[in-house]
Amino acid sequence: MIGQTRAELLKIRSTRTTLGLALGMVAIILLFIVLSGLLSDVTSLGGAENEREYFGIGSFAGLFSALAGIMLVTGEYRFGTIRPTLLFTPRRSTVLAAKIIASFFAGLVLAVIGEVLAVGVGGAILHGRDVAVNLHGRDWALLTLGTVAGTALWGAIGVGLGMIVRNQVGAIIGILAWVFVIENLLFGLAPSVGRYVPGQAQNGLMGFNTAHLLAPAASAAVLLAWTAVLCVSGAALAARRDVS
Amino acid sequence: MAPVVRAESLTKRFGKLTAVDNLSFALEPGTITGFLGPNGAGKTTTLRMLLGLAQPTQGEALIFEQRYAHIAQPALRIGAVLEATDFHPGRSGRNHLRTLSRAVGIPDTRVDEVLRVVELDKAANRRVKGYSLGMRQRLGLAAALLGDPELLVLDEPANGLDPEGVRWLRDFLRGFAQSGHTVLVSSHVLAEVAQTVDHVLIINGGKLVRESRLDELTATMGGAVRVRSPEAAKLREALARAEIEADGHDHTLFAHGTTTERVGEIAAAAGVVLHELRTEESSLEEVFLELTAERPQ
């Protein structure tokens, strides 16, 4: 298990895929932080709730963490490395668990980079525009820890999803459509259901007070449940399916 | 001695298609066995079941009398290569090997060792993207060798190799088997492995059609009577009336299960001119083609 986790961590580090994802994440977070920081008027930036959403841009790390998790699984099927991987570690649940742990760590790293960027650059912009920051100890704790914990879980969600779908393009399109279209539609049309989707659970976990969102603790439980369901389904399928 | 590899009534169905059909065989330690059959005969499916990547529909495939997934640290006893292209193109050869060695606790020094064995030490830090097919084949072999295994299972290892590569592989496998190790190597071209293997398993349409020592293969198959005639079609009809099977092309026929005397008599009785009449020992390739001639349904 420890050996396989070391192997999975090396897989993450030894191609340029992860670097590409990290650079993509940095670009997106910077773009949104800088654009909304400079273009919004001061009134829509100030106030605790606006600031929470503004600094919450760092949680884009979650999406990139999920993409990294998806790549770690689907890349093996795309390039056929799943065959040697399973020849060395025939227990598929061990391989999957190692990938979940490795993606969790990758997610932590991405989250820390994302948060440092969002809070650092965003804070500097707000300071420059003379917007007083109204967030306090608990707010900051929820925002940063919620982003970091959530992003790590998104990595595991990506692994579970990748294991279920196996096709790289399909899994990536699937998660993008889910996060950007389906979740928003669900939350917009039926918030009593939509608040249970992982993206809204992530927002709840960070302490957003948007109407209908679950409280941080409940949101954490929902996000964990999603992670568990996807990973367990992925493991069950992996155990049964043949590798061509 | 217990067989190294054993298949018992091994069967794999994909929907209506039976890819592997009630296959039973055993490999003795210290042998190099060629696993032969035309493309689509079920070789790769058999190997995948043997290596725990696919579940048999019926029967079982055992290595060291155990299912692959139940062998403790299988990579330390069995080395296998299924596809020559199983690499992430953006990862270096050395890192590819390390992602495998780390999984089972093989030290990095062993990675460097196998890289030298397959003569890739100079290219080890380059990304696999830039490797030739021959280099990829050797990198796959290096991965199989990491655990210093007693059994090597290779699926079509000579595919796409240049003659020099084929020769390198042959020498390597011979050296490997000389130390008492066992090799199972599949191919759809008998000639590729004829100089390497000592046993053959021939399958066609998922069924075992022959399991024997290589040197017994030609002997037991017997030869054919080769007959050349400008009136081959007429001769073939005369042979058919005498219930002798013949095949061939243009002016040359091969009559089976008969003698030169009998063919000569039939030709004379039918008034057919003969230009040549002799017994021919069938070559290995002919035996192979004959055994696998029937198209699987």
**A90 to chain B: which residues are within 8 Å by CB?**
52, 68-69, 71, 74
Residue A71, min C-alpha distance to chain B (Å): 12
Residue B79's DSSP bridge partners are B152
> Alpha-carbon distance A155 to A66, whole Å?
4
Report, in angstroms and rounded to the nearest whole number, the Rg of chain B calculated over CA atoms: 23
Chain A residue with minimum CA distance to B54: A242
DSSP one-letter string for B83-122: -TT-S-TTSBHHHHHHHHHHHHT--HHHHHHHHHHTT-TT
Q: Is the pLDDT of residue A82 over 50?
A: yes
In this complex, is the C-beta atom of B90 within 8 Å of any C-beta atom belonging to chain A?
A: yes
Report the pLDDT value the prediction gives residue B294, as an integer from 0 to 100: 67
How many CA atoms are closer than 13 Å to the CA of A86, on its beta-carbon side?
A: 28
Query: Which residue numbers in chain B have pLDDT < 50?
Result: 296-297
Asked if residue A66 lies in contact with residue A157, where contact means CB atoms within 8 angstroms, the answer is yes
Q: Number of C-alpha atoms within 13 angstroms, CB side, residue A76?
A: 29
Closest chain B residue to the Cα of A86, Cα to Cα = B53
Contact present, B224 and B282 (Cβ < 8 Å): yes
What's the gap in Å between the CA of B167 and the closest CA on chain A? 25
**Predicted local confidence at residue B281, as pLDDT:** 63
Query: Contact A242/B51, CB-based, under 8 Å?
Result: no
pLDDT in tens, B161-214: 888 888 889 999 999 988 889 999 999 888 778 888 999 999 999 999 989 888
Q: Give the DSSP letter string of B133-198.
A: HHHHHHHHHHHHHTT--SEEEEESTTTT--HHHHHHHHHHHHHHHHTT-EEEEEES-HHHHHTT-S
> Does B48 contact A242 at a Cβ distance shorter than 8 Å?
yes
Instruction: Tell me the β-bridge partners of B6.
Output: B26, B62
Q: For chain A, say whether B91 makes contact (Cβ under 8 Å).
A: yes
Residue holding tokens 């696999």?
B128
Whether A75 shows a pLDDT value over 90: the answer reads yes
Question: A45 near A51, Cβ under 8 Å?
Answer: yes
Query: Is B15 near chain A, with CB under 8 Å?
Result: no
Q: What residues 142-201 of chain B have any CB closer than 8 A to a CB of chain A? A: 143
ipTM: 0.92
- pTM metric for this prediction: 0.86
> Which of A71, A81, A87 is best to mutate for the B interface (most B CBs within 10 A)?
A87
Cα separation, B259 vs B226, in Å, equals 10
Output the pLDDT for position B297.
Answer: 46
For residue A80, give the nearest of B68, B86, B99 by CB distance. Answer: B86
Calculate the dihedral angle through the C-alpha atoms of A184, A186, A190, A195, rounding to the nearest 10 degrees: -70
Structure tokens at B278: 């002799």
What secondary structure does DSSP assign to B228-242, as a single string? E-TTHHHHHHHHHHT
Q: Which of B250, B267, B269 is nearest to B259 (CA)?
A: B267
- The 10 Å Cβ neighbour count of residue B237 is 13
Q: Do the chains contact at B98 and A86, CB–CB below 8 Å? A: no
Can you tell me which residue has the tokens 């986790």? A5
Size of interface A-B (CB pairs under 8 A): 87
The total number of residues written for chain A in this structure: 244
* pLDDT at residue A5 is higher than 90: yes
Q: Are strands B17-27 and B224-228 parallel, antiparallel or unpaired?
A: unpaired
Q: What is the pLDDT of residues A128-150, one digit of tens each?
A: 999 999 999 999 999 999 999 99
Sign of the CA dihedral with A162 first, then A165, A168, and A171 last: negative
Residue of B nearest to A11 (CA): B99
Tokens of B29: 């330690």
Could you tell me which of A222, A225, A103 has the C-alpha nearest to residue A156?
A: A103
Q: What is the mean pLDDT of residues A154-182?
A: 96
Backbone angles phi, psi at B57, to 5 degrees: -70, -40
Chain A hits for B105, CB-CB cut-off 8 Å, are 3
Residue A38 binned pLDDT confidence (cut-offs 50, 70, 90):
very high
Please list every residue in chain B whose beta carbon sits closer than 8 Å to the beta carbon of residue A101: none
Angle between helices A198-205 and A137-165 (to 10 degrees): 160
State pLDDT tens for residues B34-59.
999 998 899 999 999 999 999 999 99
Task: Please report the pLDDT score of residue B85 as a whole number.
Answer: 86
Q: Tell whether B242 lies on the interface with A, counting CB pairs under 8 A.
A: no
Tell me the residues of chain B between 92 and 151 that have a Cβ less than 8 Å away from chain A. Answer: 92, 95-96, 98-100, 102-105, 140, 143
Residue B55 forms contact with A (CB below 8 Å): yes
So what's the pLDDT on residue A232?
Answer: 97
The C-alpha of A31 sits at a distance from chain B's nearest C-alpha, in angstroms, of: 28
Q: Is the pLDDT of residue A22 over 90?
A: yes
Mean pLDDT of A56-73: 96
What percentage of chain A reaches a pLDDT higher than 90? 93
Direct distance between the N- and C-terminal alpha carbons of chain B, in angstroms, rounded to an integer: 37
- Give the tokens for residue B276: 């040549």
Residue of chain B minimizing CA distance to A8 = B99
What is the predicted pLDDT for the residue at B87?
96
